[in-house]
Amino acid sequence: MKLLIALSSILFALQVMAADKPNVILIMADDLGYADLSCYGSQLIETPVLDKLATGGVRCTDFHSNGAVCSPTRAALITGRYQQRSGVTGVITAKSHRHAGLATNEWTVAEAMKSLGYRTAMFGKWHLGYQAKFNPVKQGFDEFRGFVSGNVDYHRHIDQEGYADWWVQDELKDEPGYITDLISQHGVDFIKRNKDRPFFLMLTHGAPHYPLQGRKTPGHRVVGKPHGKQPRQVLENPQAIYKEMVEVMDEGIGKLVTELERLQIRKNTLIVFCSDNGPARSGSAGVLKGKKGSIWEGGHRVCGIFNWPEHLEQGQTCHQTMMTMDLFPTFVSLAGGKVEDKRELDGVDILPALQGKPLAPRTLFWSTGRGVAVRQGDFKLVLDKKKVLLYNLKQDVGEQSDLSKTKPEQTQKLLSLLKDWKRDVAQDSSSKMKPK
């Protein structure tokens, strides 16, 4: 009897501890522009669910993806470090990088959350390795359903090189459906199954990345036909389809929020929304210069929404600078862990900023195939095609007025910091991604 009482007490204590931990849901769009949501100024696209999350929480105006393309940002998100340290410096392409992926010895956010008692899942786009050894279930996620390439046919689930690409765990296993809807539905199902324990859920949408396909747009890719030999997609109104893709994603997020409310766990759930980089051809970066792939603000300044009822004040706008890699330490901190217990990260806990407190000053860096940049306070230095350019983003967010000649000391200071950073991450890189 005493043993039974002791075990019951331990079980009760564990249940109380679990109840104290917040659930964390990260929703990442793909190639969504800074001005592609209603709450960020879009006059074309209607996103009532995300708008409500923004007005009910914190809308960030200076949130940045670590990369200006897909894989690098995802590597930074998963590791909490600059992607250059893990060797993922560019897109892991379906054609030339099928052997490459995020090094399996990296400590991931999923592994960290799992060690803190969380059930972990990812539904959607991975893009950090094609082989089974790189699969999310080998990187700390308990569950994975989705695709591992950069983009797939939304109906036929075929990547750009003609490979079938829909996985259940680490097995290739297709299931019918429009991908955006599948991702949302699996998210809802996961929440239902884990309502009584803390969970960490990542929904990494393909939308609105090409191919531009709505729910009724015919699938066109064929297995076995590589890029260039696939049937050509002809669209009468691509802008309308782009609009639909974003709005379907918003609709799915609404179903997720409704389920959280039905299960009475909404107040204990942090929802984060962002994009992996700036917009491609059909999206809008608003007043920002550049788009996807660019070192300019339009390539990496993205939407950032944080909603956590009773913990984050409603209707707040945060102007502090944040990056994708900051999400890892923020989530671990919320879960009661300490990142320094395992590995030093480049990201920082941004919860204080979301609660209106200033972050400690820091210097931030970006590197793409088209240039490098360093940011310190309001000043951003860009090294683009051997041109050195300096901007004051507080006064010139569109990066139109070069100050490098009028502020030579600031320019040299940032150049020196950039040089030191490039040397630092190069020495620490755990792998190199090279085409075969």
Fold of 20-362: Alkaline Phosphatase, subunit A (3.40.720)
Question: Cα(196)–Cα(198) distance, rounded to whole angstroms?
Answer: 7
> Could you give phi then psi for residue 285, rounded to 5 degrees?
-100, 5
Query: 342 and 112 in contact (C-beta within 8 Å)?
Result: yes
Among residues 27, 26, 25, 30, the alpha carbon closest in space to that of 206 is found at 30
| DSSP structure class, residue 31 | S
Question: Cα(351)–Cα(349) distance, rounded to whole angstroms?
Answer: 6
Bond from prior residue into 211 cis (ω within 30 degrees of 0): yes
Query: pLDDT tens per residue, the chain (436 residues)?
Result: 333 333 333 333 344 455 589 999 999 999 999 999 999 999 999 999 999 999 999 999 999 999 999 999 999 999 999 999 999 999 999 999 999 999 999 999 999 999 999 999 999 999 999 999 999 999 999 999 999 999 999 999 999 999 999 999 999 999 999 999 999 999 999 999 999 999 999 999 999 999 999 999 999 999 999 988 888 888 889 999 999 999 999 999 999 999 999 999 999 999 999 999 999 989 999 999 999 999 999 999 999 999 999 999 999 999 999 999 999 999 999 999 987 656 789 999 999 999 999 999 999 999 998 899 999 999 999 998 889 999 999 999 999 999 999 999 999 999 999 999 999 998 876 555 554 4
Domain boundaries, the chain: 20-362, 367-428
In sequence order, what DSSP letters do the residues of 166-234 get, joined into one string? -EETTEE----S-HHHHHHHHHHHHHHHTTTS-EEEEEE--TTSSS---TTSPP---TT--TTTSPPP-
Q: Determine if the pTM surpasses 0.85.
A: yes
Looking at domain 367-428, its CATH class is alpha beta
SS3 85: helix
Question: Cα(291)–Cα(300) distance, rounded to whole angstroms?
Answer: 8
Please report which helix (H) or strand (E) contains residue 302, including its range: strand 301-307
